Amino acid sequence: MPSTVPSARLLALLRGHEPALVFTGAGVSRESGIPTFRDAGGLWEGVDPMEVATPEAFDEDPGRVWRFYDARRRQAAAIRPNAAHRAIAAIEATGRPFLLATQNVDGLHELAGSRAMVRLHGSLWQLRCTSCGRRSDDRRVPLDPLPPRCACGGLLRPDVVWFGEALPMVAFGRAERAARNAALCLVVGTSSLVEPAAGIPRIARASGAYVVEINPEATPLSPLAGERFAGAAGVILPELLAAAGIPMESAA
Ligand code: BV8
Ligand code: ZN
DSSP string for 39-65? STT-TTTTS-HHHHSSHHHHHH-HHHH
Q: Does residue 137 contact residue 214 with C-beta atoms inside 8 Å?
A: no
Task: Kindly state the average pLDDT of the residues 171-199.
Answer: 98
> 137 C-alpha vs ligand 2 centroid, how far in Å?
14
Q: Does residue 8 contact residue 240 with C-beta atoms inside 8 Å?
A: no
> Helix 199-206 to helix 169-181 angle, to the nearest 10 degrees?
30
Ligand 1 binding pocket mutation candidate from 85, 118, 160, 195 (most atoms within 8 A of CB): 195
Instruction: Say whether the peptide bond before residue 223 is cis (omega within 30 degrees of 0).
Output: no
> 171 C-alpha vs ligand 1 centroid, how far in Å?
16
pLDDT band at 252 (very low <50, low <70, confident <90, very high): low
Q: What is the pLDDT of residues 86-145, one digit of tens each?
A: 999 999 999 999 999 999 999 999 999 999 999 999 999 999 999 999 999 999 999 999
Task: Tell me the sheet residues that pair with 126.
Answer: 137
Backbone angles phi, psi at 111, to 5 degrees: -65, -30
Distance of CA 193 to the CA centre of its chain: 13
Confidence at residue 203, expressed as pLDDT on a 0 to 100 scale: 98
pTM of the predicted model, to two decimals?
Answer: 0.97
- Residue 17 annotated in active site: no
3-state DSSP call for residue 173?
helix
